[in-house]
């Protein structure tokens, strides 16, 4: 049976209070995780920005945008990992084809 591969867009926000090294390590960790389970099409680090509203008493976050392709089961697992990773304020994964 042929594997189903879908395109996804992901934006996640890292706590801007972390050190530059910790932010870089977090970006690399997720880039490696996505690459191991799919194909990274594009990554854009938007950098530190003011949050639209306060999250966990934080007003700034480090934004990262990623386009990737993977099997449909992977985004749910990726979302779960974002939820249990220290330093991640928010994440959102969408399928632009839907």
Domain regions of the chain by residue span: 6-94
- pLDDT surpassing 70 at residue 1: no
CATH, domain range 6-94: 3.30.70.60
Q: Is the pLDDT of residue 23 over 80?
A: yes
Helices (H) and strands (E) in the chain, counts: 2, 4
pLDDT tens digits for range 30-77: 999 999 999 999 999 999 999 999 999 999 999 999 999 999 999 999
Q: Beta-carbon neighbour count of residue 51 at 10 Å? A: 15
Longest dimension (CA), the chain: 48
H or E segment and range at residue 49: strand 38-55
């Amino acid at each position: 049976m042929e594997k189903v591969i879908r395109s996804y867009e992901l934006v996640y926000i890292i706590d801007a209070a972390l050190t530059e090294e910790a932010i870089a390590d977090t970006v690399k960790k997720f880039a490696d995780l996505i690459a191991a389970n799919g194909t990274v099409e594009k990554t854009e680090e938007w950098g530190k920005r003011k949050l639209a509203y306060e999250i966990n008493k934080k007003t700034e976050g480090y934004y990262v945008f990623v386009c990737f392709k993977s099997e449909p089961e992977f985004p749910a697992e990726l979302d779960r990992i974002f939820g249990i990773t220290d330093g991640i304020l928010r994440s959102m994964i969408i399928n632009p084809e839907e």
